[in-house]
A and B are shown apart, each in its own frame.
Chain A
Amino acid sequence: MSQTGSLMGFVHRRRRGAELFLLVLALAVGIGAYAAVGLGVEGAVPTDLVGYGGWLTGLIVAAHVTVRIVAPYADPVLLPLVAALNGLGLAVIHRLDLTYEALGEDQHTFARQQLTWMTLGVVLFIGALFLLRDHRVLQRFTYTAGLIGILLLVLPFLPVIGNKINGARIWINVAGFSFQPGEVAKVMLVIAFSGYLVLHRDALALAGRRVVFVDLPRGRDLGPIMAMFGVSMMILVLQNDLGSSLLFFGLFLAMLYVSTERAGWLVVGGLLFGAGALAAYTFVGNVQNRFDIWLHPMDYYPGVSYQPVEALFGMGWGGLIGRGLGNGFPERVPFAYSDFILATIGEELGLTAVMAIIVCYGLIVERALRIALISRDGFGKLLAVGLGSIVALQVFVVIGGVTGLIPLTGLTTPFLSYGGSSLVANWVIIALLLRISDQARRPAPRLEPADDASDDSETTQVVKLR
């Protein structure tokens, strides 16, 4: 086997021990932060620390054991990164709960709800890994996934279950629960894009007119990108959701570029995006306002720019090392527990923690793209690129928005923000990435006749797979 391996080139090790070690560190972050919140806000270690820590540990261990059993070659870094982010997010939401309660609001149990959602997310993570033994199965559901994705995007417009919260029509109410179907839709759409593009990449890659070193696509192939552009604009205009609109279009563009290897698509996409942005700026008043608030936030304080400016004040006050958990005033920022959770972290844990979090996200994206590089099948490559791009774009849009780098758009911070739909969807994304990486890192199957396994005299035949 080892001889075969050396002949085959590099063989990935399982590295499950490394994963376990990193998971211990990740749990230390999550449970330690929870204890620090108790010390900082109430002056004592929380009484339920053991129960809480035990539950968190149980979830993470279950995920780890699952990976050991059904995806032993999976990437060892992703799960610890996610566990650390999720644990930190829970602690920070709990910290805000305590403050909101102290301010006299009704019982605030966002952290408890988030822990429930995390449990559901881990269950789905485990289920996905157990049920889906080969990601290529998903290719069969290309059009089904696409249809479901579109349906999910339309759901908020249905009369009974559709719900408009904070100006964005992206919610549905089912049995008392609010759910953002868009979070699930993005996973469905990545599957659909991957399946579609891996089939049609050759046609889409055909060169058309050449303009300044760049081969533009043929006009007749513009159909898919125009369709996606239309969907994005509809999300923007009808749902009033700039973030999702940007996310879906950027995601499709990245996958189109990777599948066709044609920079020309980026030119077309860029032009469309520019035209769309200009149109949105001109015709959609909300976009214009956000742009204005982004450029001159201080001029509109304490009016419409109250939220972003309070976030800036908070993060500035946090400085290098932060005020310490419980010693800041993150509750001054509306939605500090969801879209603006990074402002809370910046205020109380400082630039240090913000940098660490950005690096964690960077590592998740890096692992996803690495998985795409080493994946042996086109579908897997596209799927991994798509999932990685979702995380990259979402993190850039939301952190960039909170820190004032780009105009503010409403999106959740993956794994940190309070929000069940987002959390569950992101755990599934990680499960899919682990599944692809397990396939990619697994040693190539031994292609030798099954009957002469006992015959050692014959040299093993080497078949190049790529």
Chain B
Amino acid sequence: MNKPIRVVSVFCLVLFLALMVNATYLMYVRADGLSDDPRNRRIITATFSRERGAILVGKEAIARSVPSNDKYKFQRTYSEPFKYAPITGYFSWYSQTGVERSQNSVLAGDDSRLFVTRLVDLLSNTDPKGGNVLLTINAAAQDAAWAGLENLPGDAQGAVVALEPTTGRVLAMASTPTFDPNGFASHDFTAVSDLGKLLNADEREPLINRAIGTTLPPGSTFKLVTAAAAIESGNYDADSMVPGGYRFQLPQSDTTIGNYDDGNCGGRRITLTQALQVSCNVTFLTLANELGNDAMAEQAEKFGFNDTSLEDLAGQAQSLYPRDMDAPQTAMSGIGQSSVTATPLQMAMVAAAIANDGDVMRPYVVDEVRAPNLSVLDRTDTQSISKAISSTTADELTKMLVATVADGTAAPAQIPGVDVAGKTGTAQSSGDRPPYAWFVSFAPADDPKVAVAVLVQSSDTSPDEIGGGALGGPIAKAIMEAVITP
């Protein structure tokens, strides 16, 4: 009987080898694929139970994990939830947003830059810790931005972005209404789920970061782009005489468009500076019509329209300047109407580019990635995206904008002893909604440290230019002061 016993032995050997090969395949080869399955709750729980890294503004941790007494071991807390919610986003059992999402691998401790830390943790058998993320945010500027939005009258919706023109660092970013990320970080998952449903159903859209996620007609602030295109064409400078007057007749149409106050902007022929100072619609409708769709689109795209540039935060909407507009639409685009839309971030980039001799810098929110022991692992490099305008054009525009603040519609942003460059805007949208008030500015004009864009949509917005400046101007002023004043 020994021969068949040997055959049975070989058969058993085959069975056991099959088990071993399959176990290796499952636990070694297929392991990564199984870990990537979004339904794999082990991975989620493990990430959720880890000591997640902090999100830092200066030396203050605006988001950090503190020990909790339940089975998840750590509770994510946000020290200034509403002020920073659009940037930090939230970290919940179900998902993450904002920096919590974009820097998840660092914060969770899985990033390859944390390899050495992880190895040490493994060898010393300590629980892995996440790395820290330092933001580019200037705490004083952010305080001013949030205070400005919070103090808006009535049921206001709005957003603010401040950039450092020479680098693209985001110095402040706020949005209202917003939400409390602490609610999402709760370990009571039913409550988290209910909160998510509630906020998603809210028509005021508190979960949206308006600073980067909402596109609206930029109104008169877009006249900066029109003026830039005009000067870049080589036919104009700050002192060129341009058409003023009461009304502009749209091409291929009987419709005429007047100025906001039904005035004549100070004459039939005025300087380009004066046109910007009084925000003369007729002038910029004429210029856009003359430059044409291609030239206007090209200039807009150089400033960053029709593209996204921010990599640190998800949810950036594209600011649009359509390339297929007909003549009347193109003329209307010169004053930031028709199909032109922009985010506050985009308008801040326009201001920052003018402040930075025409160089558009890529905006960024994450300054440094740090190991749990706070040693710096990585620092974001500044990067120039495009050359929007020549430095001569930038100088001309700066002169005009300084004049607009010193003696024009943007007067609310005046700072004693400092040359401020700025422009108001008021955009009409559909009749039943209040108009949008815009304000873009930068300061000091001779050595720009900060460029700001403010968007306010409020029932109290008056439909005229000065009204727009009255809402946005003080906020922009406060932010600029916070950055300039040491």
Contact = CB atoms under 8 A, between A and B. Distances in A.
Interface of A: 102, 254, 257-259, 261, 298, 301-302, 312-320, 328-329, 332, 346, 350-351, 354-355, 358, 361-362, 365-366, 369, 372-373, 378, 381-382, 385, 388-389, 392, 395-396, 399-400, 403-405
A161 B8 CA distance: 38
Nearest to A103: B71
A392 to B, nearest CB: 5
Contacts of A346: 23, 27
B39 A302 contact: yes
A11 to B, nearest CB: 19
Contacts of B9: 366, 369
Contact of A328 (B16, B42, B71): B42
B1 A358 contact: no
A318 B27 contact: yes
Contacts of B33: 316
Contacts of B18: 396, 400, 405
Given A301-B39, A313-B37, A320-B28, A369 B5 contact: yes
Contacts of A350: 27
A333 to B, nearest CB: 11
B24 A351 contact: yes
B15 interface: yes
A360 to B, nearest CB: 11
A388 B6 CA distance: 13
Contacts of A372: 1, 5
Given A258-B5, A372-B5, A392-B12, A403 B39 contact: no
10 contacts: A257-B7, A258-B5, A261-B3, A315-B23, A319-B31, A355-B23, A361-B16, A369-B8, A373-B2, A405-B18
A316 B35 contact: yes
Interface string B439-473: 00000000000000000000000000000000000
Contacts of B71: 102
A362 B10 CA distance: 11
B4 interface: yes
A396 B23 contact: no
Name the 4 nearest CB pairs between A and B, nearest first: A316-B34, A316-B31, A351-B27, A405-B22
Contacts of A358: 16, 19-20, 23
Given A316-B30, A361-B16, A369-B12, A261 B23 contact: no
Given A314-B42, A351-B28, A403 B19 contact: yes
Contact of B5 (A312, A318, A385, A400): A385
Interface residues of B, number: 37
Best-surrounded residue of A298, A346, A358 (most CB of chain B within 10 A): A358
Interface string B22-66: 111011101111110101111101100000000000000000000
B15 A396 contact: yes
Contacts of B23: 315, 346, 351, 354-355, 358, 399, 403
A260 to B, nearest CB: 8
Nearest to A389: B8
B108 to A, nearest CB: 15
Q: Please classify the interface of chain A as helix (H, G, I), strand (E, B), loop, or mixed, using the class held by over half of its residues.
A: helix
Given A346-B27, A350-B27, A354-B23, A317 B8 contact: no
A313 B22 contact: no
A427 B27 CA distance: 31
B1 A317 contact: no
Contact of B40 (A313, A328, A355, A399): A313
Contacts of A389: 8, 12
A315 B1 contact: no
B31 A258 contact: no
A372 B12 CA distance: 14
A428 to B, nearest CB: 21
A346 to B, nearest CB: 6
Contact of A329 (B3, B15, B34, B42): B42
B24 to A, nearest CB: 6
Contacts of A301: 39
Contacts of B43: 317
B27 A332 contact: no
Nearest to A302: B39
A396 B19 contact: yes
A378 B2 CA distance: 10
B37 A298 contact: yes
Given A329-B42, A405-B18, A405-B22, A261 B4 contact: yes
A319 B32 CA distance: 9
Contacts of A258: 1, 4-5, 8
Contacts of A298: 37
Contacts of A329: 41-42, 45
Contacts of A320: 27-28
Given A254-B8, A404-B22, A315 B37 contact: no
A315 B19 contact: no
A319 B4 contact: no
Given A358-B16, A369-B12, A392-B15, A319 B28 contact: yes
Contacts of B32: 316
Contact of A317 (B13, B28, B31, B39): B31
Contact of A405 (B8, B19, B41, B45): B19
Nearest to A399: B19
A385 B20 contact: no
Nearest to B3: A261
